[in-house]
A and B are shown apart, each in its own frame.
Chain A
Amino acid sequence: MYRYDEFDHQLVGERVKQFRGQVERRVSGELSEDAFKPLRLMNGVYLQLHAYMLRVAIPYGTLSSKQLRMQAHIARKYDRGYGHFTTRQNIQFNWPALNKIPDLLEELATVEMHAIQTSGNCIRNVTSDQYAAAIDGEVEDPRIISEIIRQWSTFHPEFTYLPRKFKIAVTGHDNDRAAIKLHDIGIVIKQNELGDVGYEIHVGGGQGRTPLIAKKMADFVPKAQLLAYLEAVMRVYNMLGRRDNSYKARIKIMVHETGEVEMRRLIEAEFAKIDASQMLAVPPAEIDRISAYFASPEFETLPASSDVLEAAKTRDADFARWVRANVVAHKQDGYAIVNISLKPIGGVPGDASDVQMEAVADLAERYSFDEIRVTHEQNLVLPHIRLHDLKTVYDALHAHDLATANLGLISDTIACPGLDYCNLANARSIPLAQEISERFADLDRQYDIGELKIKISGCINACGHHHVGHIGILGVDKKGTEFYQISLGGSADENASIGKITGRAFTEETIVDAIETVVTTYTDVREGGERFIDTYRRVGLDPFKERLYAE
Chain B
Amino acid sequence: MAQHSSKGARFQAVTANRLSDGEVVYLTPDNQWAETFAAADITDGPEAGDALLARALPADFELHVLEPYLFEVLQDASHFKPASVREIIRAAGPTVRLDLGKQADAKRES
Contacts and interface: CB of A to CB of B under 8 A. Distances in A.
Interface of A: 26-27, 29, 32-33, 47-52, 80, 95, 97-99, 348, 419-421, 425, 427-428, 430-431, 434, 477, 479-482
12 contacts: A48-B22, A51-B17, A51-B23, A52-B21, A97-B20, A98-B20, A419-B86, A427-B85, A428-B95, A430-B94, A480-B86, A481-B84
B19 interface: yes
Contacts of A431: 95-96
A430 B84 CA distance: 18
Nearest to A347: B96
A429 B87 CA distance: 16
Interface of B: 6, 17, 19-24, 62-63, 66-67, 72, 83-87, 89-90, 93-97, 100-101
B51 to A, nearest CB: 23
Given A51-B23, A98-B20, A98-B22, A29 B89 contact: no
Contact of B21 (A51, A348, A425): A51
Contacts of A482: 85
A51 B96 contact: no
Contact of B19 (A27, A48, A95, A477): A27
A29 B62 contact: yes
Given A51-B23, A428-B96, A431-B96, 13 more contacts: A27-B20, A49-B90, A50-B93, A50-B94, A52-B21, A80-B100, A98-B22, A419-B85, A419-B86, A420-B97, A425-B86, A430-B96, A434-B96
Contacts of B21: 51-52, 97-98
Majority secondary structure, B binding face: loop
Contacts of A51: 17, 21-23
A52 B96 contact: no
A480 B87 CA distance: 9
Contacts of B93: 50
A32 B84 CA distance: 30
A32 B62 contact: yes
A32 B19 CA distance: 11
Nearest to A100: B21
A26 B19 contact: yes
A50 B23 contact: yes
B95 A50 contact: no
A98 B23 contact: no
Contacts of B94: 50, 420-421, 430
Contacts of B67: 33, 47
Contacts of A428: 85, 89, 95-96
Which of A48, A420, A481, A482 has the largest count of B CB atoms less than 10 A from its CB? A420
A51 B97 CA distance: 14
A480 B81 CA distance: 13
Nearest to A429: B96
Given A27-B19, A98-B20, A47 B96 contact: no
| Smallest CB-CB A-B distances: 9 pairs | A480-B84, A51-B22, A420-B94, A97-B21, A52-B22, A430-B96, A29-B63, A49-B90, A420-B96
A216 to B, nearest CB: 39
Contacts of B85: 419, 427-428, 480-482
Given A33-B62, A421-B94, A434-B96, A47 B83 contact: no
Nearest to B6: A479
Contacts of A481: 84-85
Contacts of A80: 100
A50 B102 CA distance: 9
B96 A50 contact: no
Contacts of B66: 33, 47
A172 B83 CA distance: 50
Given A98-B22, A431-B95, A47 B86 contact: no
A97 B87 CA distance: 21
B89 A99 contact: no
